[in-house]
């Protein structure tokens, strides 16, 4: 069984706020498996459930009038139309990214949902008589009229995946990967359930926990928490990293197993 890892690395020093922007009459997707609720008004009465993968049409642009945090994700209430019913939803679980099929891996997702600009192209390849072949491939893509890329590195014990997405937020990337890698999230939590003091927070909440440094213009360096990182170890070792860089969200998931260990 091939275990692939995905690496995303971004560095931005602005505050992150779920989906960063949208206008009225945009179509957004529900990107949490449990779905969301449609309310008659913010914190009012529930009108109905809006299921995973459903599409809603925004009736107003992004605003911060009713800020709310759920599962570590900062968002706000937005008025939407869902199948002819008008109400309010929490926008932290909405995304311009399409919801993946529950059978998708990352590669099949980007091949279906992104515009393909190339076939897979090999960047490196190594053949070894004693071990499995290894190599690195890249696929050039387009998303919302901007170019991006998906890359994966494979070897006997595991691999690594890298994807950049233009114009998305770190929270949107987290929601996407939490769905695509949900089995590994669940297995890692089960494996660590009996560990005393084990912190489940990165598994169930989006928490910026990376540390970087930048010059503040006066010759001093300031600390910033600007990326999400989660060690997804069960019987194998994986790591998911999500960061921002120059208007791209970068996703990194890598991992490996001892041969015969899983």
Domains, the chain, with CATH or none: 6-14+99-256 (no CATH), 27-95 (2.30.30.40)
What predicted TM-score, i.e. pTM, was given to this entire model?
0.86
| pLDDT of 252 | 96
DSSP per residue over the chain, as a string? -----EE------SPP-SS----TT-EEEE--TT-EEEESSTTS-EEEEE-TT-EEEESS----SSEEEETTEEEEEEEEEETTEEEEEEGGGEESSPPPPTT--HHHHHHHHSEE-S--EEEEEE--SSS--EEEEEEEEEETTEEEEEEEEE-SSEEEEEEEEET--HHHHHHHHHHHTHHHHHHHHHHTTTSTT---HHHHS------EEEE-SSS-EEEE---EEEE--SSSEEEEEEEEETTEEEEEEEEE--TT--
| pLDDT of 61 | 94
Mean pLDDT of 66-78: 93
Give the pLDDT band of residue 1 (cuts 50, 70, 90): very low
Mean pLDDT of 198-218: 83
Structure tokens at 127: 């053949």
**Tens of pLDDT, residues 117-162:** 999 999 888 887 667 788 999 999 999 999 999 999 988 778 899 9
> b/e for 61-83, b at 16 or more Cβ within 10 A?
ebeeeeeeeebbbbbbbbbbebe
| pLDDT of 157 | 75
Euclidean distance between CA atoms 29 and 36, whole angstroms: 11
- Top pLDDT among 127 and 42 is at 42
Burial of 60 (0-12, 13-18, 19+ CB in 10 A): middle
Give the pLDDT band of residue 259 (cuts 50, 70, 90): low
| pLDDT of 258 | 65
């Amino acid at each position: 069984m091939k275990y692939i890892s995905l690496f995303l690395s971004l560095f931005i020093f602005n505050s992150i706020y779920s989906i960063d922007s949208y206008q009225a009459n945009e179509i957004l997707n529900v990107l949490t498996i449990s779905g969301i609720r449609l309310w008659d008004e913010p914190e009012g009465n529930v009108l109905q459930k809006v299921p995973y993968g459903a599409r809603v049409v925004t009736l107003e642009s992004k605003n911060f009038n009713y800020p709310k945090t759920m599962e570590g994700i900062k968002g706000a209430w937005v008025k939407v139309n869902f199948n002819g019913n008008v109400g309010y939803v929490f926008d932290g679980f909405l995304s311009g990214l399409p919801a993946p099929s529950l059978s998708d891996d990352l590669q099949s997702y980007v091949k279906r949902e992104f515009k393909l600009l190339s076939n897979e192209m090999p960047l490196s390849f190594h053949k070894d008589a004693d071990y499995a072949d290894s190599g690195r491939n890249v696929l050039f893509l387009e998303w919302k009229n901007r170019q991006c890329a998906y890359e994966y590195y494979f070897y006997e014990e595991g691999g690594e995946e890298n994807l950049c997405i233009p114009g998305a937020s770190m929270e949107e990337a987290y929601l996407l990967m939490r769905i695509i890698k949900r089995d590994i999230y669940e297995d890692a939590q089960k494996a660590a359930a009996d560990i005393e003091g084990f912190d489940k927070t990165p598994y169930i909440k989006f928490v910026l926990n990376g540390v970087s440094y930048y010059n503040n213009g006066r010759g001093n360096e300031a600390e910033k928490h600007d990326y999400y990182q989660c060690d997804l170890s069960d019987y194998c070792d994986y790591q998911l990293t999500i960061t921002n860089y120059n208007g791209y969200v970068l996703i990194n998931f890598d991992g490996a197993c001892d041969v015969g260990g899983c």
